């Protein structure tokens, strides 16, 4: 499996990365390849890269002091232009745990996000030479709780893809490029793409696409952020829903969802470093209210990371 480990050196060719010590060293390294998944790195991974190559590297969290914004560029591929249908799998084997309101809060988010100002950031991006702009439309197509056992204590990407296919077939969900399947895991379950490239050490979540027969479907692997909030949490913010694990997971969900909308096959919108719309604002929240929320959607409070706006050349919630 090829992995685009996103946005390592801002505006620097791959050859220059070696000069900066990013290739063939113990540093979090560049994978320059034709990808089929795209990861959200942990806070620690991003911090290490900033230390290696400076705060401008990839413009991680465009709110960072000294960061020089790099615009997103269109690379010719499709976007989820006409709106998305989101399907949610809560893979929670018997005996596993999540916070009491975890499933309901994530489901609420998916019911709220379509038509919101946050999703609206994506509408400036488009597909094709005729510039068909993304429509601010998303709907929850269904949820499913799967209590079957995990095949191992550390799941592979193939396990995640198989679970997505299983959910699609079990529930008769619609397949196609505009369908997103999110596979949420329970607390303590690890997920690795390869040896040493695992949840909570390298990444918090990722998105990609899979095939099922002749159909293409986008999917996301969503480890339980509450397993390690220091790696994947909203750190420093109060919890608007009185549930740190759920609030952190919702922010990560918004990251993966809007990246998938603008770059479903990883050949549409990203900058010259490989950073997608969410990477450029990872763990950047802007101003928050006393309850810890930075946005209210349909009367519901959320703390979600900002997304990159080419129009504003910076991170935004609208």
Closest by Cα among 276, 235, 300 to 121: 276
Per-residue pLDDT tens over the stretch 84-109: 999 999 999 999 999 999 999 999 99
- Lowest mean pLDDT segment, chosen from 102-116, 196-210, 235-249, 290-304: 235-249
Q: How far apart are the C-alpha atoms of 225 and 239, rounded to whole Å?
A: 14
pLDDT of residue 251: 98
Residue percentage of the chain with pLDDT more than 70: 82
pLDDT for residue 76 is more than 60: yes
Q: 199-229 burial by CB neighbour count: b if 16+ within 10 A, else e?
A: bbebbbbbbbbbeeeeebbbbbbbbbbbbbb
pLDDT of residue 67: 54
Closest by Cα among 98, 283, 101 to 189: 98
19, with CB counted inside 10 A (0-12, 13-18, 19+), is: exposed
Per-residue pLDDT tens over the stretch 191-234: 998 888 999 999 999 999 999 999 999 999 999 999 999 999 99
Q: How far apart are the C-alpha atoms of 237 and 291, rounded to whole Å?
A: 9
- The mean pLDDT of the chain is 86
pLDDT for residue 29 is more than 70: no
pLDDT for residue 57 is more than 60: no
pLDDT of residue 235: 74
Q: How far apart are the C-alpha atoms of 285 and 237, rounded to whole Å?
A: 9
Domain-wise residue ranges, the chain: 3-316
The pTM of this model reads 0.88
Q: Which residues pair with 21 in a beta bridge?
A: none
Is the model more confident about 56 or about 73? 73
Per-residue pLDDT tens over the stretch 264-286: 999 999 998 899 999 999 999 99
- Return the structure tokens found at 22: 């990013």
């Amino acid at each position: 499996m090829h992995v685009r480990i996103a946005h390592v050196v801002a505006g620097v060719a791959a050859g220059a990365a070696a000069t900066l010590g990013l290739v063939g060293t113990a540093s979090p390294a560049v994978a320059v390849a034709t990808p089929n998944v795209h990861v959200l790195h942990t806070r620690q991974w991003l911090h290490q890269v900033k230390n290696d190559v400076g705060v401008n590297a990839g413009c991680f969290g465009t709110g960072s002091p000294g960061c020089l914004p790099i615009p997103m560029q269109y690379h010719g591929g499709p976007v989820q232009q006409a709106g998305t249908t989101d399907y949610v799998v809560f893979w929670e084997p018997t005996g596993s745990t999540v916070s009491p309101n975890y499933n309901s809060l994530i489901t609420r988010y998916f019911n709220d996000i379509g038509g919101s100002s946050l999703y609206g950031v994506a509408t400036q991006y488009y597909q094709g030479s005729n510039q068909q702009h993304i429509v601010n439309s998303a709907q929850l197509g269904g949820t499913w709780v799967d209590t079957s056992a995990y095949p191992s204590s550390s799941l592979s990407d193939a396990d995640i893809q198989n679970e997505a296919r299983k959910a699609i077939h079990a529930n008769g969900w619609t397949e196609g490029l505009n369908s997103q399947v999110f596979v949420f895991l329970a607390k303590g379950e690890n997920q690795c793409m390869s040896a040493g490239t695992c949840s909570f050490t390298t990444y918090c979540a990722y998105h990609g696409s899979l095939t099922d027969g002749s159909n293409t479907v986008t999917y996301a692997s969503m480890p339980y952020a509450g397993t390690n909030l220091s790696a994947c949490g909203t750190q420093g913010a109060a919890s608007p829903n009185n549930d740190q694990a759920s609030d952190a997971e919702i922010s990560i969900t918004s990251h993966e969802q809007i990246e998938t909308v603008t770059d479903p096959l990883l050949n549409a919108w990203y900058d010259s470093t490989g950073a997608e719309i969410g990477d450029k604002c990872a763990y950047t929240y802007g101003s928050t209210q006393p309850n810890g929320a930075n946005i209210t959607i349909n009367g519901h409070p959320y703390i979600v990371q900002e997304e990159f706006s080419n129009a504003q050349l910076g991170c935004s919630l609208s």
